[in-house]
A and B are shown apart, each in its own frame.
Chain A
């Protein structure tokens, strides 16, 4: 049996639709967090004093530093998109790299913060915590649950950004193959007619195939910008969730 080729369909491209899909996805993420925020609301209502006390045991300064880190990373994210829109791949890649670095430092701070709490025996199910009140148990359960789920999203976001970095940093190359009919003189000219290169050799070029590999700016398509924008939207969502977690867990004392 011979292979039957797939008929080629025209590329369909619709940035608005892609963004729409991304917003729908963010909606599902927000609902995912809504479930655990609901638990927070109920237990906070049930144990107000313990939650006040629990908040005082967290390091507000460390939380604040992490807030600043994430907010700055959102800034570099936006700058990266702005650079790409201007056609500056290098700038976009640098800013994206900065975003990733900031995201990683957020995680590092988080690890130390968690390590400190666990070192003091304050983690769900620990013997130390079992001697504390029910409200404190719920507070620490929620603290680790909520920041853990958030950290998971930071990690996923970093993965997405890393993929985008590879895409943005890669020089777009286009390969064109032109079979030359025999006995031709070759020359390369720019669009305005300026001659860039001539085949000066006296002998005729005979029966060759010319392969052109070149980078062109038009390769920077809407599609690529849309992708980076969508990655950015996800990153901002991760940021915004932290903006809610920080006051709920650290500030309300």
Chain B
């Protein structure tokens, strides 16, 4: 093109843009550019996040008072199932890897695209197909599934609701996840630029790499499990039917063999984002680079060995129970290694209190609460006491939303200027964060307390003693959503009205900050040659 002669760089947002609406649309939905696919994911995933939030809000509103408030019990059952399915399969699992992994993994290792660009687009189509199937399942057949997102048999086989289609949707989404993982592992192995050795990769790449392996090695197991549920419903296979000699507990084992590692699919990429943001805004090298990189792999590995802790009350031998309990405690070690190294990086750094860093602090605080309540449940005696209570609900929202959710917000704020070439005004973001942080704790800490007092999860109704707690939680949900709306509004407005962003607004050191904002179509005019670590600052500590 004329780039070399005129010096003008065509950004990925401009490249291939035709005149009129249809050519423009085609240039997006048939793109094989990893950056555009990342943006496609951003739009679709955030839309489902919004739907998931609405469902959650409705549930909380129903629970503000005992008895029927706005919806009936069957609708309520469908609501918590669909809220779970959407938030887990359509938001958190694909979230960070599919959006920011797609956009930044190739750039951060100095590549022009992922290894299989067309497969990458296919993953997005699988995501969209799965999402459409999931939505279809709500309105067809016997109505929205009411089994909870775990689809436990035998109820999942016996219920008249449209479980078959919902399960098939999860199966198709699994394909999307596997293909993304496959693409990332191959990309990291084969496409690192000259001098980009394994230990010069940014920590975000290490996290995504560990995540990709979990996606590859765990997802097929849940795929076959969900397939068996479908066969069970359609052809009466009977493998999980106790009436014919089958064992429903085996379903739980197979389900959690995937779904526990999946928890780390959700949290690891957020940890990668945090490991990028902290060194940038403390103006320092990351502390303990190798320890953080290796702890990602350790988490991925240990994550496979702890699925039994979801089933301590399902019927399991005592030996298995204490082994699973012990292994679960081990997961705390690599997680804590990360937290301590992040905090050590901040120590004596020249900290810029940008909104992205504020969300990272939110992440560390909330994830620590989530992690420590997780430790409480690893202990068998406590686990039996709080099993299937609001304590569990509070715990995993602290990890998933307080951890991954806040990590995702941090990622948006950190990388938005690079992705769209616009700066976001800071002040509304600080206000939004304040609302989110306060509302979050009011909502979910109350849940921890309620659970400790004995409020069971997934219940439509409750005894009057719990009313005060439920009112607090519901009010917390309103404050939380207000915060989210403020942040979302600020970010969306910045797409049109934001100040133009320079190539490196934060003083970042990784490769994405060395190319223009937004990046050119081919990422790098000349592929970079790397001769130092990712967080190396030539002049020592810079302000």
Q: Which A positions have Cβ atoms within 8 angstroms of B?
A: 1-9, 12, 14, 16-17, 20-21, 24-25, 27-29, 31-36, 38-39, 42-43, 46-47, 124-125, 130, 133-135, 137-138, 141-142, 144-145, 148-149
Q: Is the CB of A35 within 8 A of B522?
A: no
Give Cα distance in the complex from A137 to B257, angstroms. 25
Q: Could you show 13 A-B contacts with beta carbons less than 8 Å apart?
A: A5-B1, A16-B190, A17-B191, A21-B182, A27-B216, A34-B220, A34-B221, A39-B228, A39-B250, A46-B247, A124-B236, A133-B245, A141-B237
Tell me how far the C-beta of A212 lies from the nearest C-beta in chain B, rounded to whole angstroms: 28
Stretch at the interface among B15-23, B289-297, B419-427: B15-23
Q: Is B178 an interface residue (CB 8 A)?
A: yes
In angstroms, Cα B228 to Cα A36, docked, is 9
Known: A6-B521, A14-B115, A21-B182. 12 other contacts (CB 8 A): A7-B3, A8-B1, A17-B186, A21-B186, A28-B217, A35-B220, A124-B236, A124-B238, A137-B246, A141-B237, A144-B237, A145-B228
List A contacts of B228 (CB < 8 A): 35-36, 39, 145
Which residue in chain B gives the minimum CB-CB distance to A19?
B186
The reply to whether A17 and B15 contact each other, CB–CB distance below 8 Å, is no
Smallest Cβ distance from A216 to chain B, in angstroms? 26
Q: What is the chain A residue whose CB lies nearest that of B31?
A: A6
Q: Is the CB of A138 within 8 A of B16?
A: no
**Are B244 and A130 in touch, CB under 8 angstroms?**
yes
Q: Which residues of the partner chain B approach A25 to less than 8 Å between Cβ atoms? A: 178, 182
Contact, CB under 8 Å: B15 / A149: no
A24, A34, A137, A148 pick with most chain B CB within 10 angstroms: A24
Answer whether A9 and B115 are a contact pair too, CB < 8 Å, given A4-B17, A141-B239. Answer: no
Chain A residue at smallest Cβ distance from B18: A3
- By the criterion CB–CB under 8 Å, are A39 and B216 in contact? no
A contact residues around B18 at 8 Å (CB)? 3
Interface pair A28/B220, CB less than 8 Å apart: yes
B224: A residues at CB distance < 8 A: 32-36, 149
B217 surroundings in chain A (CB, below 8 A): 27-28, 31
Q: Does B112 contact A (CB under 8 A)?
A: yes
Question: Which 8 A-B pairs have CB atoms at the shortest separation, nearest pair first?
Answer: A134-B245, A125-B236, A35-B224, A17-B190, A31-B220, A32-B220, A6-B16, A137-B244
Whether B237 contacts A135 by the Cβ 8 Å rule is no
With A6-B521, A17-B186, A42-B250 as given contacts, are A31 and B238 in contact (CB-CB < 8 Å)?
Answer: no
| Contact residues in A for B239 (Cβ distance below 8 Å) | 39, 43, 138, 141-142, 145
| Distance between Cα atoms of A107 and B250 in the complex (Å) | 30
- A28 near B216: Cβ-Cβ < 8 Å: yes
Chain B neighbourhood of A28, CB < 8 A: 178, 182, 216-217, 219-220
The answer, yes or no, to whether B531 is at the interface (CB within 8 Å) is no
The answer to whether B17 touches A24, judged by C-beta atoms less than 8 angstroms apart, is no
Residues of B within 8 A of A8 (CB): 1
Chain B residues near A32: list those with CB within 8 A: 220-221, 223-224
Q: Residue B185 at the A interface, CB < 8 A?
A: yes
Contact residue among A1, A35, A135, A144 (Cβ-Cβ distance under 8 Å from B245)? A135
Question: How far is B522's CA from A5's CA once the two chains are assembled, in angstroms?
Answer: 13
CB of A6, distance to nearest CB on chain B (Å):
4
| Chain B residue at minimum C-beta to C-beta distance from A135 | B245
